[in-house]
Structures are given as C-alpha cells and as structure tokens.
Amino acid sequence: MVLGSNWQLSLAELDNVLKNSKYLGKIMDYSANVAIVEFDKLDKHKHYINDLMEFQFILGGTQKIAKVYDFIHIHNIIEAFPLKIEKFQEIQKLRKKILDVIASNLDEIFPKIKNERIFYAVSIYPNFFDDEYYPKVLVKHFLPFLNTEIMKILKKKGAERALYYQYPEKNIEEGTLNPIFPHHVIKYGLLNKDRAELIFGFTEEGVYIARTYTCDDPNFKRKIDEERPLKEFKSNISPKLSIIMLNLLNLFDNRHKKNILDPFVGNGTILLFALLQDFQIYGSDIDKVKVKNTVRNINWLLNELEEPIPLLFTERIKSTDVENLSNSFKEKFFDGICTEPELGPFYSERPYYSEVKELIENKLEPIYQFAFREAYKVLKENGRICIISPIIETLDGGDIQLNIEKIANNFNFKLIPLLDINRIINKSNQRLQFRKKQVRTMIDAKKDQIIKRKIYLFEKIS
C-alpha cells in the first residue's frame, strides 16, 4: 500500500479496516510512505483484483495498492548503492545480484514479455522523502540504474520494445522527485498487461519490489470537492480525511443500511463522501443557508452518480441547533456520527491566548457538550462518534485545545485509541516510532496552519 501524506492516520485507517472488515489482514512492515500488508484470505480468491479495487475504493488514506513480488535486505542495497562509492568493482558485483533478483521476477510481473512492446514506470518510495539517501542515491543512481537495466533485461527476454517513463531531468538533478501520481498511473495505462508501474518501496528492513494493481482515482474525489455547487475553500475538511473518519466508525458490512449523521453539516463534505461510500446520510446545522447548500450539493452528486433521489430526502437534512438534535431525529437511530463541529473563526494571524481562552470557554465547550449529550440519545448502543476538535495556536500562550475526553466521558462515551501499536512491528528509526503503545488521537494539519484538526474516536457506553 502506498500511503497518503498523513501516513500515521493512513496507517490507523488501514489497520482498522484490516482488523474489522471482511478484508482481514495485518500490517507486517511500514515506512512513512508504504505499508506492507499480508491478507488472511483476500489474495487467495480467484478474482482478488476486484477485491483489491473495492478495498482501494473504501480507503481514504491509501493511494495505490501493489502486489509484492520480492524483497531485498537493506544491507545489500546500501552496500551496492552507498552514499560514497569507494570500491567500484566490488559494487558492480553487488549490483549484479540485485539485478538477478529483479530479473527472476519480471516473468511473473509481466504475463508476457516475448515479442511484446513493454512500457514501465519505476517509482521509488523511501522511508522518508527528506532522508539524504533519497536525493543523493536513490534518485540520482538507483533510479537510472533500474530504468536502463530493467530495459536491457526485458529486451534479453525477447521484448520487441521496452521503454520506461522518463521523469523530468530537473527533478532528478535536484533530488526533488515525486514518484508517478495515481492519476498518471491511470493516464499512462500502467494497469494494463504490457504496461506497469514497478514500485521499489523502502522500509528500514529493505526494499519491497512490487507492481501496482490498482490505485485511487483522485480526479473523481477532487471533482466532488471542487465542482459541487457550494463550497468554502479556505476551511473545508478534505475528502481524504472525511473517508478516513468514516472508516473509523467500523461500519463495513451493509453500508447501504447504515445511518450516518453529521450534526454540523456545513456544506456537506462528510455527507457527500458518506453517500459515495454507500451510507444512508443524515445531517443538520444551525445555519439555514448551510442546510440548503448541503441539500443542493447532495442533489448534484446524486445526479452525477446517476442515482435516484431517495424519498423524502430533504427531510434528512434539518435546520437545528445541536442542542435540540434529539427533537429532530429519532432516539437510537444512528449507527454512527461523523462530524467536524465549530472550530472557531478563520484566523489569518495567530490570535492572543486570552481571546482563544474566551472562545473555548464561552462558545466551543458548550457546543461540544451539547453535541455529546445529544449524540448519546440518537446513537444506537455501542455506536461510535468520530469527531474533530481544534488545536489553536496562539501568539502568546502556545497551543490551546478543549478537553474533549472529559466532556465525552461525562456523557458516557469512552475513547477508542486510533491505533494499537501491538498490532504492528516496532521501528528503530525514531521518526517512525509511535510514542505510546496506543495512539489515542491524531492530528491532521498543514504546515503553519493556525487551527489544527485533532481527530477523536468515541464509543457510546451502554
């Protein structure tokens, strides 16, 4: 699996799906860019590629899924491609060994080579893109080596023609190379038999050699996000995060029968992606204009998907203060709640501590308290709520946040940690370690964002 930019959150989502959905499996190894997954059964099915496509569709934080064909230990790679080359002859021999491993897999990676015209793109995913080994060695030496040598092997094996995807020279020189994007994988037909994306995914242990079998279609998600009639660019939650949060609710079977609520629906981002993921969607907001916006956006998406508008659909999106939620929806009706409540105003500069303290105490805390009180009433037993709360960076007092856990506990919700480290292997690289045995919450933020999103998961205690 090639992970999205927030790799920790992507891992948490992946582990949750592997633990609780029909796609049972385990993360065997990982870096900040890839996760190696062993499925219990999936790959033994005859038509497992269809299953993989479905699996990819469900996930918000995974960009590509590739089948692993082989593995080379990290020592063998570093000896053959050191940061500083000293004994070149020795190195030639070691590189030849690496090629032998690759050559032994190409007949499986390509169903047919002889007399075929083959095209391939090599994508290298390092542990971290900012490791010095990536620009200095992997991009400058390993990539050109793989490109030309794989071409030679394919020709030797009888290919009529073998061509490789050429990355811009400038990026190779500067070492700022991004592996080919998912939409290019689709554009260049790299999922066809005679065309392939060959992934070299690094972890601390070594490099996994894989071929991409399916990938995300970001254009479609972007279209929903950007082309819907009503949106607010500066503050919207991303499609990726919406889907990840929905997956944390642990509702994988019969999604078309599962009722999902967003009680702070805004322009409806979370509900649009919940609809795409087949859930029954319900929402509410204090702002009547937002309610109208959401209804318009959902109608637009249903039309795009060529799906009929459900009966009494507009009644599913209500205009109500969260304080009165249980007057608008039936008790114990929802299987899950997924929401991003009020996070505070859009700050263009860091605010003062006192200003934020007042905002939290007088405005945000009451909203979150009402949200949990009412969520308890409308959720089914053991129903989950995945909720965002803000971390606000101040000018003079550091970061400030709400004590969501305390509020949730007061209303009979227990925190569900986002990731259980015992399920995945330990890493020696500190940047890849999780500080505690259980990762209770995670943050989603871009650099220099004043309000950061913190993601929490709670379960109703029955």
Shortest Cβ 241–ligand SAM spacing (Å): 10
- The one segment of 32-40, 135-143, 335-343, 398-406 that binds ligand SAM by CB under 6 A: 335-343
If one asks whether residue 342 binds ligand SAM (CB under 6 A), the answer comes out as yes
Per DSSP, the three-state class of 395 is: coil
As a whole number of angstroms, the distance between CA 239 and CA 182 comes to: 16
Shortest Cβ 394–ligand SAM spacing (Å): 19
Query: Scanning residues 358 to 377, which ones bind ligand SAM (CB under 6 A)?
Result: 367
If one asks whether residue 341 binds ligand SAM (CB under 6 A), the answer comes out as yes
Cβ distance to ligand SAM smaller for residue 121 or 388: 388
C-beta neighbour count of 108 within 10 angstroms: 11
Shortest Cβ 365–ligand SAM spacing (Å): 12
* Total residues interacting with ligand SAM, rule: CB under 6 A: 18
Pull the structure tokens for residue 363: 């405005």
Query: Scanning residues 287 to 316, which ones bind ligand SAM (CB under 6 A)?
Result: 287, 290
C-beta neighbour count of 324 within 10 angstroms: 13
Cβ distance to ligand SAM smaller for residue 123 or 238: 238
Query: Scanning residues 225 to 264, which ones bind ligand SAM (CB under 6 A)?
Result: 236-237, 264
Pull the structure tokens for residue 208: 């996994």
If one asks whether residue 445 binds ligand SAM (CB under 6 A), the answer comes out as no
Tokens 């030639």 map to which residue? 92
Which listed residue (295, 322, 360, 457) binds ligand SAM by CB under 6 A? 322
Residues whose CB is less than 8 angstroms from the CB of residue 440 and which lie 6 or more positions away in sequence, other chains included: 415, 417, 418
Which listed residue (15, 116, 340, 459) binds ligand SAM by CB under 6 A? 340
As a whole number of angstroms, the distance between CA 209 and CA 202 comes to: 9
Cα torsion angle, 350, 354, 359, 365, sign: positive
Which listed residue (270, 276, 385, 404) binds ligand SAM by CB under 6 A? 270
Nearest alpha-carbon partner for 195 in 178, 207, 180: 180
Which listed residue (43, 131, 205, 321) binds ligand SAM by CB under 6 A? 321
Pull the structure tokens for residue 390: 């803000």
As a whole number of angstroms, the distance between CA 412 and CA 406 comes to: 10
Residue 117 Cα distances to 155, 157, 212, angstroms: 10, 12, 19
If one asks whether residue 60 binds ligand SAM (CB under 6 A), the answer comes out as no
What are the residues binding ligand SAM (CB under 6 A)?
A: 236-237, 264, 266-267, 269-270, 285-287, 290, 321-322, 340-343, 367
